[in-house]
A and B are shown apart, each in its own frame.
Chain A
Amino acid sequence: MVPIPAEQTIAEPTVSEDAVLEVLEAEAIHVFRETAAAFQNPVLLYSIGKDSSVLLHLAVKAFAPAPLPFPVMHIDTGWKFKEMIEFRTRMAEELGLDLRIAQNKEAIAEGVTPFTHGTHEYTRLMKTVALREGLDRYGFDAAIGGARRDEERSRAKERIFSLREPGHRWDARKQRPEFWRTTNTRLNEGQTMRSFPISNWTELDVWRYIRKENVQIPDLYFAKPRPVVDRDGTWIMVDDDRLPLREGETPEMRTVRFRTLGCYPLSGAVESEAADLDTLIYEMGASKMSERSGRLIDGEGGSSMEAKKAEGYF
């Protein structure tokens, strides 16, 4: 054998952040177009968060110069941050969205709140059931969502096109293998589809894309002095007077931001100085916690995402 010098160096051209984002964007636009064209009555699920904001932006790009070819649905528990609802109204106006609101009115009438029920049951009633009812009411056969494979371990197995059985049940064994960009979009009676255009994105990709494309997002993601209480080691924002204060709890002003947005009593804030995207992205690189760690919903049970999905959660 001819001896090779031990100090072999490998030339390393580098890849820019934007080049990776362009590949991810291309995949997402393809999924949007396929969903819009292959199904009778698709809908974009819009949760007002950063992932939804990116989805909305991608959808606009996918069909330009035509307007969005499908409606947008928000699952409103009634406990979202005030700022989120204001943001929703503004976006709907600016983009001329056909906005539908889904709510479990029955549960609300029965007085279900994040304080009366455990997080698992609350989520099931206010989000999973509301979602199922909303989809059924309008007869949507495909729902586009912002789930990503990096969110949680069981999501790594999720397809880009995820089949749901009658009753919106997710059955691991029924998931269709995905070859190339060709998708089997055929549905049997009662079946529906979920499609996830940003499956292969990471949380950091989402933030970098927001920066690259100037995507509008709610201000809650940026650090600002906000009234919070320390509850079981998590900062909870006192967004309105419906939050029952426990003994010894006094709201105090802290400079905090949110990594994920949901129902305000269930969304933990983190102390941060990140008031702009650059700082925020820098901070993310330093912390490296998975974003769902700030979400109180997922805490119960080791594989709670999988269990929730089987019930019809997104």
Chain B
Amino acid sequence: MTTPTIDATSAEVDTIAPVVRMVACGSVDDGKSTLIGRMLAETDSVPIDQLEYARTTRRGGSTIPVGEVDYSLLTDGLEAEREQGITIDVAYRHMDLPNGRRIIIADAPGHEQYTRNMAVAASTANIAVLLVDAARGLRPQTYRHLTVCALMGVTGIIVAINKMDLVGYEHATFEELAGGVKAAAARLGLEDVTAIPVSAVTGANVIETAPDKMPWYHGGSVLEVLESWNPPDVDNAQPFRLPVQVVVRADGNFRGYAGTIANGTVRPGDKIAVADSGQTATVASIVTYEGEQEFAQSGEPVTITLDREVDVTRGDLLSAPGEGQVQPADKYAADLVWIGEQPMAQGRSYLLYCGPKIVPATITAVRHRLDVVEGHKHAARRFEMNDIGRVEFATDSPIPLDPYDECRETGGFLLVDRVTSDTVAAGLTRYALRRGDPNIHPHTYDVSEEDRSRLMGHDGKVIWMTGLSGSGKSTVADATVAALHAQGVHTFVLDGDNVRHGLNRDLGFTPSGRAENVRRVAEVAKLMKQAGLVVIVALVSPYRADRRAAAQIFDEGDFLEVFVDTPLAVAQERDPKGLYKKAAEGDLPNMTGVGQDYEAPENPDVRLDGQADVAENAALLSQLILGDD
């Protein structure tokens, strides 16, 4: 691969970005489909058979005579939405401008419920074309889109004040609306705003300027502005970042680190640091299929070799050393765009994906929810789909993240649900709250876990019993422990009620409270297991994701999930603590099985029939525990 002829020392070279990513925002009513469709058609960016389709096909409600092109049909995609006449997702299209530039358009629907799609489309965009209906004026939508653009790092905004034909091409109307948008944009820190009066229907100021209709306008058409606009200069002075996607190994001991440069530049001889471990090395070569390369910059996929052996795996971040080095941290403040169908649960463990890096992360605090129309910050305890706001999160191990505004690729991340594997949030790192303390190193004990096992005569183990309140967990746990104890096994029971009297007395029964309860009990169980005990946890632990997170801090085989399967009706009938009665009277809104769901394990290691004889169940469990050794 050849390098684009931009050199670090001559960044001012008279070149323009060959490819510009654009997000189109505004609703169907604003005439967005017509504007985009017309630009696609008039730049020859759609095949003629699709153009012919738009000339002959008509949807219900269309007033455009057959034979003329209904431009809005060119941007419709799925059958389902054609029937409903709306766009329901982000669509990507290309447009070739006369000067050779390629525009990749992300077309985001305008309805309020699709803020998430707007965020997706804006996440990779350099520029936005924001539609405003001149006849209807600025609407909440306009502010929402501006806010999302600012948040996601879109730097250029073209405001197309559309339907000028409906307001008599009046100069004053345009100035008023343009002024309003610019003021709102300025408040959000958006400086590069160009307002253009257009009529997508008549084509005025879309491809060519229309001095006959709007002699008072002296700027360029939408197409002209798209041709000449440039993203802020690629600042090659920015510190180098290379997230390692693949370690390439080949004959002759070749070992290269491949990935796409996220920021800055690289040359052979440059010093780099592995951000995750702090090890440093010097770049020996930049290897390509065609041979070695002397220089590479942001956006280029490269394979580099280092002058010495360092420990680098997929997910590590190669960084400029010294001042430009990114330090790992395990606590950050970030803005989240919540896109999951399930609301966010504070305290629950999600998987954080940043480029090739994956690490478990927990939302530890919600600072505020952002009103994307008014710009106000509201107190909030959780987010629902399409909410945007500020949180704090902690990761299981320190990771290097950049502030999003400095680098999208190393500052933007996804949160993924452990059970559904759905992406539930997009995160924008703002700043680190706690750098990994270089003074805290896990201490290696002289007496190992194996040593303790030998002395105990058995291995430590964790038996995690989950089930409804009243399912019989504690009863079976007690009986099991009695049986084991009699055989000389060192045991302990961590019972939900007991733990909540002490260690966890600050926690409630909301989904977040339960997540933290499970996390703490799992950590305590782990310490006890390391001490050599067989630990039986008896905890409702109703959520799959929480149980899965608990299991994941143990090695395989050290953790057994036991489902005490008792029908809700039976548990309610037993009601040993009178809790179901209280819940029925409305006193316990968070009661599992009543106000909250119980997510039964899909594949537990053991399923106990909660209605079977207690001694039988205990015998089964102890046999399993002993037999394993």
Contacts and interface: CB of A to CB of B under 8 A. Distances in A.
Interface of A: 4-6, 8, 10-20, 22-26, 29-30, 33-34, 36-38, 60-67, 149-150, 153-154, 156-157, 172, 175-184, 186-188, 191, 199-200, 202, 288-290, 293, 302-303, 306-307
Given A15-B18, A66-B250, A303-B79, A183 B353 contact: yes
Nearest to A61: B289
B246 A63 contact: yes
Contacts of A14: 99-100
A26 B68 CA distance: 39
B426 A22 contact: no
Contact of B246 (A36, A157, A186): A36
B79 A302 contact: yes
B145 interface: no
Given A8-B218, A180-B412, A23 B18 contact: yes
B260 A156 contact: no
Interface in B96-126: 96, 99-102, 104, 107, 116-117, 119-120, 123-124
6 contacts: A16-B18, A61-B289, A65-B256, A186-B416, A288-B44, A306-B78
B289 A64 contact: yes
A179 B100 contact: no
A40 to B, nearest CB: 14
A182 B412 CA distance: 8
B624 interface: no
B353 A182 contact: yes
Contacts of B339: 177
Given A10-B228, A191-B421, 14 more contacts: A8-B218, A12-B227, A15-B101, A17-B100, A26-B299, A26-B301, A65-B254, A177-B119, A179-B119, A179-B120, A179-B426, A200-B94, A289-B48, A293-B47
Interface string B38-55: 000000100111100000
A176 B123 contact: no
Contact of A23 (B19, B228, B246, B248): B19
Interface stretch (B85-93, B265-273, B474-482, B570-578): B85-93
A79 B53 CA distance: 31
Interface in B1-40: 1-2, 4, 14-16, 18-19
A293 B120 CA distance: 32
B191 interface: no
Contact of A293 (B49, B287, B301, B412): B49
B440 interface: no
B211 interface: yes
Nearest to A177: B120
A61 B2 CA distance: 12
Contacts of B353: 182-184
Given A15-B99, A180-B408, A186-B416, A149 B218 contact: no
Given A157-B89, A182-B354, A10 B18 contact: no
B434 to A, nearest CB: 23
A181 B409 contact: yes
A150 B50 CA distance: 11
A125 to B, nearest CB: 23
Nearest to A310: B79
Secondary structure call for the A interface? loop
A5 B92 CA distance: 37
Contacts of A15: 16, 18, 99-102
Interface string B177-220: 00000000000000000000000000000000001000100111
A200 B104 contact: yes
B351 interface: yes
The 10 closest A-B pairs by CB, nearest first: A290-B47, A19-B18, A15-B100, A64-B289, A303-B79, A4-B218, A29-B301, A66-B250, A156-B91, A177-B120
B245 interface: yes
A181 B421 contact: no
Contact of B245 (A37, A61, A65): A37
Given A33-B258, A66-B248, A154-B79, A289 B47 contact: yes
Given A8-B220, A62-B301, A149-B92, A16 B248 contact: no
A30 B300 CA distance: 9
Interface-central residue, B90, B94, B119, B299, by most chain A CB under 10 Å: B94
A178 B421 contact: no
A184 B423 CA distance: 7
Contacts of A149: 92-94
Contacts of A176: 422-423
B384 interface: no
A181 B355 CA distance: 6
A6 B218 contact: yes
A62 B16 CA distance: 26
B356 interface: yes
A217 B260 CA distance: 28
Contacts of A202: 94, 96
B539 to A, nearest CB: 25
Nearest to A153: B77
A88 B77 CA distance: 34
B580 to A, nearest CB: 34
A182 B299 contact: no
A10 B19 contact: no
A289 B414 contact: no
Given A13-B99, A14-B100, A289-B48, A177 B423 contact: yes
Nearest to A302: B79
Interface-central residue, A64, A66, A180, A181, by most chain B CB under 10 Å: A180
Contacts of B249: 66
A50 B353 CA distance: 34
